[in-house]
Chains A and B, each alone.
Chain A
Amino acid sequence: MLIALENVCKIYNQGQANEVRALSGIDLSVEAGSMLCLKGPSGSGKSTLLAIIGCVFPPTSGRAAIAGKQLARLPDRFLTIHRRESIGFIFQKFNVLPELTVLENITLPLLPLGISPRERRQRAKTLMERLGIAHRENFPAGQISGGELQRVAIARALINRPPIILADEPTAHLDTPLSREFMAIMQQLQAEGKTIVIASHDPLVFEHPAIDRQVAIQDGRIHVP
């Protein structure tokens, strides 16, 4: 199993007055090469679950093994190191830095890895060509269209060659054709062996034929209909 969660709980502000129980008793395992959709209304805890799978923070209790690493009790530094080796993130608002160029945005994850500018550009070039944004290489990311922005976000998620791709509401700011296009790209990536987890409540996503499995989250628990 590439992702294995056992009885995972996440409590924010533990022991304080504003304590929030975001997740409780989550058991989830995802095989390598599958595409999973976490669905549920906003505030249901799916973003928190995605963050735990994405090694952004460890669970408060329970066991979480992501790409062969136990996350529980792992200091922030090692979560970060593991994250940059194993996870590619695509965010809801794409989270690009508008003043940096497309190339700079895509190669951001490579800077702390000590990869030379030449190799960075080479890697990014392959991805940009594949995603059809090569002509935008030196444009500031703030000046390109939404569809291109989404491809920049995908390229950035792929640049460190992670086995797992996570997407948080990726189609929330896209129109229907672009959303379809996004899913098509995800399907391709899955065919190449990537494991993909998408959190979305967009039917266009969770009803897409490429989705192997839907997991509904409600009030911090996996909802079995």
Chain B
Amino acid sequence: MAKRGIEKQLNILDYALSSLWRRRTKNLSILLVFSAVIFLVASFLMVSKALSDRAGQLLVAAPEITVQRMSAGRQEAIPLAHGERLQGIFGIRRVVPRVWGYYFDEVTGANFTVLGVDPLQMPGGDGLATALARGRLPEEGEAGMVVVGQGVVETLALENRQLFSLFRPDLSLKTLTVSGEFAKETGIMTADLLLMHPAEARDLFLIAPGFATDLCISVANSREIETIARKIAELLPDCRVLTRPQIQKTYQVVFGWRSGFASICLLSAVAAFIILAWDKASGLAPEERREIAILKVLGWETADVLAVRFWEACLVSGLAFLLGMLSAFAHVLFFSAFLFRPILLGWSVLAPGLSLVPALALGDFLLLAAFTVLPYLAATVIPAWRSATVPADSALGG
């Protein structure tokens, strides 16, 4: 019984395939438009997912708590003395002052991230040494030594030069020596990075000694992050305390919101396609009508003809899904989602000029199918039924 049923569905599937092939011009146009729509939606979801994954990876390296001094609602340099006041709070493992900022290079128009931190004090700082392609990390007291990312090497055309200069705010020149380069593989985090000793960074930005831009605090037990953050906030009322989980969630909300907004825009593309699909499916050509009438008079039930239509819809949407997905994957992975560059401008700060690797789970396929395949199936079901109820007797008589 069950075997017959499966064999029957296979027969019907086979018939659906040949029926699609017979009307290939019509179906090919549907397939192409459908793939294009899936391509757009899929590329977008992949990009936003890849970016939010990236942001997550970046944030793993972020300190558990960051303390910044605020004045008149703006961030200001924080005195190192603040850090000493925090030492009393139980559960804090280490307080590391950090000088952190952006340097705008007027010649090339590039933005570099300058990070002034003592690698020996950083938690996991010894890991930094393994991130180097060549050279070594700057040591205490070595003047003008800096480790640069590959992006910086390219923009400044350093190649084998060891020396280069940057302007201080008062336009005097600060000469720096390259002591090492970050490896390409760490590009997500290091491409635009200049890593130097805090004293050097203070010198570059002309920040007074005894000050930093923020304090990074590492905590012994990650469950206590919120409690410790609250204590810090009470102790230093003029400071803003940011915790890693909060930053992470804010990013997620922003990403979710952005991609949600874009999904709504893309939905209009889906809607347009659905209207097209409906239109194509509901126009029943006389030959099709004749074919269905013949099938029915030869003993095909309404349900069998509906099954043909269902398999056709499945084949078309399955193939379109495959095509759309593969091209979206290529678009994101090999062409860095060039179509979406303008929309993603705001995110380029996070992932400057990087290749995006979309990591997809089963759930993402389901999400994509819910956006594209399900509306298509829903739009074709009523036209399919209309065609399946062509009466058998219209095959009779002259």
Chains A and B come from one and the same complex: yes
Question: A115 is contacted by which of B7, B290, B295 (Cβ under 8 Å)?
Answer: B7
A114 to B14, CA, bound (A): 12
A30 to B352, CA, bound (A): 86
Residues of chain A at the chain B interface (Cβ within 8 Å)? 42, 47, 50-51, 54, 56-57, 76-77, 80-81, 83-84, 89, 91-93, 95, 97, 99-100, 104, 108-117, 156, 160, 168-169, 172
Taking CB atoms and an 8 Å cut-off, the chain B residues in 294-332 that contact chain A are 294-304
B4 — nearest CB in chain A belongs to which residue?
A: A114
Secondary structure of the B contact surface, majority rule = helix
A41 to B90, CA, bound (A): 107
- Check A50 against B392 for contact (C-beta < 8 Å): no
**Is B393's beta carbon under 8 Å from chain A?**
yes
A156 — nearest CB in chain B belongs to which residue?
A: B298
| Binary A-proximity of B1-14 (CB < 8 A = 1, otherwise 0) | 00111111001101
- Check A77 against B299 for contact (C-beta < 8 Å): no
A81 to B302, CA, bound (A): 11
25 A-B contacts (beta carbon < 8 Å)? A50-B396, A56-B392, A57-B391, A77-B301, A77-B302, A80-B296, A80-B299, A80-B300, A81-B299, A91-B396, A92-B397, A93-B398, A95-B395, A108-B295, A109-B298, A109-B299, A111-B11, A111-B15, A111-B300, A112-B11, A112-B299, A113-B4, A114-B4, A114-B7, A169-B398
B391 — nearest CB in chain A belongs to which residue?
A: A57
Residues of B in contact, count (CB < 8 Å) = 32
Closest Cβ of chain B to A219, distance in Å, is 17
Given known pairs A51-B393, A84-B299, the reply for A95 and B15 (CB within 8 Å) is no
A47 — nearest CB in chain B belongs to which residue?
A: B397
**Number of A-B pairs, beta carbon distance below 8 Å:** 86
A108 to B297, CA, bound (A): 11
Given known pairs A111-B8, A111-B12, the reply for A91 and B395 (CB within 8 Å) is yes
A110 — nearest CB in chain B belongs to which residue?
A: B11
- Check A168 against B397 for contact (C-beta < 8 Å): yes
Contacts of B22 in A (CB 8 A): 99
A169 to B4, CA, bound (A): 35
Closest Cβ of chain B to A60, distance in Å, is 14
Contacts of A117 in B (CB 8 A): 11, 14
Contacts of B294 in A (CB 8 A): 95, 97, 108
Question: A92 is contacted by which of B15, B296, B398 (Cβ under 8 Å)?
Answer: B398
